[in-house]
């Protein structure tokens, strides 16, 4: 039996050579927005936590001490029915105790549905920092804790991985 003729419009195969190539992906600075950071103070030093990791910032509230806990653990607080351990970020970083004042806050950080609170001297602002504004951490520091250092105005700000507290 003779082979059936196939109409040109019904052929299956590669696209004709004159078809346009697929679009190129946008440049990296367009694809991924620069991360936003919550800047906080511990004493006079400036630190920042990636905003995506911060669940909320709350005023000081009653904290129940925990016997036998590390010195940096102030205790636990009740945040709308959830028990949240609270760390003194200054003691944890080794820079000295945070003295609670009117502008002091507890920054609540979430990881895998687990919450921790960080007592800080004050919350300054939210900044957007592109990778070009972030310098790598100094060698010999705590691995994984400091992600880098950025200058925000005249103030060097240490970019801090809040998940390091979960270790």
pLDDT in tens, 87-139: 999 999 889 999 999 999 999 999 888 999 999 999 999 999 888 888 988 77
Asked if residues 47 and 158 have their Cβ atoms less than 8 Å apart, the reply is: yes
DSSP 142: -
* Full-model pTM: 0.76
Q: Domains of the chain by range and CATH?
A: 36-127+143-166 (2.40.50.180)
Strands (E) across 91-139 are located at: 105-111, 114-120, 122-128, 134-135
139 φ/ψ angles, rounded to the nearest 5 degrees: -65, 150
Please report the pLDDT score of residue 142 as a whole number. Answer: 60
Annotate 80-95 with DSSP letters as a single string.
TTEEEEEEEHHHHHTS
Please report the pLDDT score of residue 29 as a whole number. Answer: 47
- Classify residue 84 by burial, with Cβ atoms within 10 Å: 0-12, 13-18, 19+: buried
Per-residue model confidence as pLDDT tens digits over 48-95: 999 999 999 999 999 999 999 999 999 999 999 999 999 999 999 889
Asked if residues 155 and 167 have their Cβ atoms less than 8 Å apart, the reply is: no
How big is the chain, counted in residues? 167
């Amino acid at each position: 039996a003779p082979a059936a003729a196939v109409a040109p419009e019904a052929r299956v195969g590669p696209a004709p050579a004159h078809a346009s190539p697929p679009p190129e992906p946008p440049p990296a600075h367009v694809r991924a927005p620069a991360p936003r950071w919550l800047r906080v103070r511990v004493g006079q030093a400036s630190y920042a936590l990636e905003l995506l990791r911060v669940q909320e910032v709350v005023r000081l509230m009653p904290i129940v001490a925990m016997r036998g806990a590390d010195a940096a653990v102030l205790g636990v607080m009740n945040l709308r029915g959830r028990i949240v351990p609270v760390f003194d970020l200054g003691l944890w970083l080794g820079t000295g105790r945070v003295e609670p004042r009117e502008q002091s806050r507890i920054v609540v950080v979430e990881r895998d549905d687990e919450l921790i609170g960080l007592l800080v001297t004050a919350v300054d602002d939210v900044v957007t920092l592109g990778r070009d504004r972030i310098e790598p951490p100094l060698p010999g520091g705590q691995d994984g804790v400091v992600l880098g250092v950025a200058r925000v105005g005249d103030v060097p700000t240490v970019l801090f991985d809040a998940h390091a507290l979960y270790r």
